[in-house]
C-alpha cells in the first residue's frame, strides 16, 4: 500500500497542468544543456590539438563559473523582484542568441578568452534559469508534495542532461569529429532552449511569483546590497537552512575534485579495454552510469525521508560517498570507476533533493530567489575551489591515492559534522506530513 501511495502522489502532481508546464521548461532546457556541454567538452577538453593538464582544466572551470559566482547574489535579488515566468522565457531566448555565437566560434577555431566569454554567458544564464525554477517550484505543488516534486523535477532534469549529452555523441558518431562537428552540436542546443521558452509562455505572468512584491519599485545598487544582507540574515536565522547549505557545499567541493580527477583519468590515463572506452566515449559511459544513479535517487528519498527525516538521509548518503571512494575509486580501473560514478551520482542527487526541500520549507517566498541564488553561487564557488585544489594536488594523469584519501575523509567528516549540528533541532525538519 505504501508503494501505491507514492505512485499516487506522483500522479497527483503530474495531473497539475502548472507543474507539467514548469516541468517541460526544465526538460527542454536541461536536454539542451547536455548537448551544449558535450560540444564544449569535445571542442576543448578532448580536442587532440589542445593539452589538458590540471591547471588548464581548473582555469577553464574558473573562467566559466567564477564570474557568475561574483554577481549571482545580485541576480537573486532580481529573482525576488522580477516575474519568474518572464525570467524563464527571456533566459532561454537569450541563450538561443548566444549559442549561435558560440557555434560560430567553434567552427572558426576561436579559443582563449573570447570563446570562454561567450560560453560564460550561456552557463551564467543557465544557472539563473535553474535558480528561478527552484524558487518557482512551491507555486506548482503543495507543501506536502515538495519532496516528491523536487525528486521528480531535479532528477529528471539531471537525467535528461545526460540524454542530451548522449544525443550529442550520436551526432558526433554520425558525422565524425572536428571543429565543424562540435559547432553543429552546439547549434542543435537551440532547439531545446527554444522549446523551453515556448513552454514558459503558457504561464500567466504572475503565476510563478514572487508574491507580495511591489514590482514598480526600481532597485538601486544600495537596495540590492541591502536585499543581499537581508537574505543572508534570513538564512542565518534558520539553522536548518544554513546547516543544509554548508553540508551540500562541502559535498560539492569533494565531488568537484573527483570530477576533475575523472576528466584527467579518461583524458590522460586510461586506454580502451573492450567494452570500457577511454577518451570522450569512456567519459560518456561514466556520466551515463552517474545518470542511472541520479534516476535511482528519485525513487528512494521520499519513502526513506518519511521514516528517517532529511538530516539522517543526508548523513547516510555522505557516508556512502566516503565508502564508494575507498572501495570502488581506489583501484583506478574503468570497471570499478563506472559503478563508482553510479553511486556518487546517487549521492549527489539524493542529498540535493533533501537540501532543496529544506530550503523551500524554511525560507519565506519573498526571499527564495535570493537564497536559491546563494545556493547556486555556493555550488559554483565550491566547484571552482575544487578545480583550483585539483590543479595544485592532482598529477596530469588524475591518479593520486593521497587525493583519494582526502576526498574520502572529507565526505566522512562532513557526515559526522552535519549529524552533530542537526541533532539538536532534527524534529523541526520532519514535517508531520512528508510527501511519499
Q: Give tens-digit pLDDT for 256-275.
A: 999 889 988 988 899 888 88
- Examine residue 6 and state whether it is found in any structural domain, yes or no: no
Question: What are the contacts of 243-246 at 24+ separation with CB within 8 A?
Answer: 243/311, 243/418, 243/421, 243/422, 244/310, 244/314, 244/354, 244/355, 244/358, 244/359, 245/355, 245/359, 245/374, 245/375, 245/378, 246/418
CATH of the domain at 137: 1.20.1250.20
The three-state (H, E, C) secondary structure of 114-173, written as one string: HHHHHHHHHHHHHHHHHHHHHHHHHHCCCHHHHHHHHHHHHHHHHHHHHHHHHHHHHHHH
Are the C-beta atoms of 383 and 254 separated by less than 8 Å?
no
Are the C-beta atoms of 265 and 397 separated by less than 8 Å?
yes
* 137-309-362-9 Cα dihedral, nearest 10 degrees: 30
Q: Give tens-digit pLDDT for 379-427.
A: 778 988 898 898 889 998 999 999 999 999 999 999 999 998 888 665 5
- Examine residue 222 and state whether it is found in any structural domain, yes or no: no
- Examine residue 216 and state whether it is found in any structural domain, yes or no: no
In degrees and rounded to multiples of 5, residue 273 shows phi and psi of -140, 90
To which residue does cell 546563494 refer? 374
DSSP 139: G
The helix or strand, by DSSP H or E, that contains position 401, with its residue range, turns out to be: helix 401-422
Provide Rg for the chain, Cα atoms: 21
- Examine residue 2 and state whether it is found in any structural domain, yes or no: no
- Examine residue 434 and state whether it is found in any structural domain, yes or no: no
* 26-32-36-38 Cα dihedral, nearest 10 degrees: 90
Distance CA 2, CA 254 (A): 35
The pTM of the whole model exceeds 0.85: no
* Residue 297 pLDDT greater than 50, yes or no: yes
- Examine residue 292 and state whether it is found in any structural domain, yes or no: yes
In degrees and rounded to multiples of 5, residue 398 shows phi and psi of 85, -5
- Examine residue 436 and state whether it is found in any structural domain, yes or no: no
To which residue does cell 538561443 refer? 96
pLDDT at 410: 97
pLDDT at 425: 65
Are the C-beta atoms of 137 and 25 separated by less than 8 Å?
no
Distance CA 79, CA 211 (A): 11
Residue 361 in grid coordinates: 520549507
- Examine residue 112 and state whether it is found in any structural domain, yes or no: yes
Give the range of the structural domain holding residue 34, as residue numbers without chain letter.
Answer: 12-206+228-429
Q: Give tens-digit pLDDT for 110-153.
A: 877 788 788 888 887 887 898 888 889 889 998 888 878 888 88
pLDDT band, residue 6 (cuts 50/70/90)? very low
The helix or strand, by DSSP H or E, that contains position 434, with its residue range, turns out to be: none
Q: How many domains does the chain have?
A: 1
Amino acid at each position: 500500500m505504501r508503494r501505491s501511495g507514492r505512485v499516487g502522489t506522483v500522479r497527483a502532481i503530474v495531473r497539475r497542468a502548472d507543474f507539467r508546464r514548469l516541468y517541460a521548461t526544465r526538460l527542454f532546457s536541461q536536454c539542451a544543456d547536455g548537448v551544449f556541454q558535450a560540444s564544449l567538452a569535445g571542442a576543448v577538453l578532448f580536442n587532440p590539438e589542445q593539452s589538458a593538464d590540471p591547471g588548464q582544466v581548473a582555469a577553464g572551470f574558473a573562467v566559466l563559473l567564477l564570474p557568475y559566482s561574483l554577481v549571482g547574489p545580485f541576480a537573486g535579488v532580481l529573482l525576488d523582484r522580477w516575474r519568474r515566468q518572464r525570467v524563464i522565457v527571456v533566459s532561454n531566448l537569450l541563450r538561443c542568441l548566444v549559442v549561435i555565437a558560440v557555434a560560430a566560434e567553434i567552427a572558426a577555431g576561436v579559443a582563449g578568452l573570447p570563446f570562454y566569454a561567450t560560453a560564460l554567458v550561456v552557463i551564467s544564464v543557465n544557472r539563473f534559469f535553474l535558480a528561478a525554477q527552484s524558487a518557482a517550484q512551491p507555486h506548482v505543488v503543495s507543501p506536502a508534495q515538495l519532496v516528491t516534486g523536487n525528486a521528480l523535477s531535479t532528477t529528471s532534469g539531471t537525467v535528461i542532461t545526460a540524454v542530451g549529452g548522449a544525443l550529442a555523441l550520436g551526432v558526433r558518431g554520425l558525422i565524425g569529429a572536428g571543429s565543424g562537428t562540435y559547432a553543429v552540436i552546439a547549434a542543435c542546443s537551440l532547439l531545446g532552449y527554444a522549446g523551453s521558452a515556448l513552454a514558459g509562455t503558457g504561464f500567466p505572468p504572475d503565476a510563478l511569483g514572487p508574491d507580495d512584491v511591489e514590482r514598480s519599485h526600481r532597485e538601486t545598487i544600495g537596495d540590492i546590497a541591502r536585499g543581499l544582507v537581508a537574505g543572508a540574515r534570513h538564512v542565518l536565522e534558520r539553522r536548518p537552512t544554513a546547516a543544509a547549505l554548508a553540508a551540500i557545499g562541502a559535498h560539492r567541493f569533494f565531488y568537484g575534485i573527483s570530477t576533475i580527477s575523472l576528466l584527467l583519468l579518461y583524458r590522460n590515463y586510461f586506454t580502451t579495454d573492450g567494452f570500457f572506452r577511454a577518451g570522450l566515449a569512456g567519459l560518456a559511459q561514466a556520466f551515463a552510469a552517474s545518470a542511472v544513479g541520479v534516476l535511482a535517487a528519485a525513487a528512494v528519498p521520499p519513502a526513506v525521508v518519511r521514516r528517517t527525516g532529511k538530516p539522517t538521509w543526508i548523513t547516510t548518503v555522505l557516508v556512502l560517498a566516503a565508502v564508494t571512494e575507498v572501495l570502488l575509486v581506489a583501484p583506478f580501473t574503468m570497471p570499478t570507476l563506472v559503478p563508482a560514478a553510479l553511486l556518487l551520482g546517487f549521492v549527489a542527487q539524493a542529498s540535493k533533493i533533501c537540501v532543496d526541500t529544506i530550503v523551500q520549507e524554511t525560507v519565506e517566498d519573498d526571499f527564495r530567489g535570493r537564497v536559491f541564488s546563494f545556493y547556486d553561487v555556493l555550488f559554483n564557488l565550491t566547484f571552482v575551489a575544487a578545480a583550483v585544489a585539483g590543479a595544485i594536488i592532482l598529477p596530469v594523469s588524475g591518479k593520486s591515492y593521497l587525493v583519494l584519501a582526502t576526498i574520502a575523509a572529507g565526505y566522512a567528516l562532513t557526515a559526522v559534522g552535519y549529524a552533530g549540528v542537526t541533532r539538536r533541532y532534527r524534529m523541526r525538519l520532519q514535517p508531520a506530513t512528508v510527501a511519499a
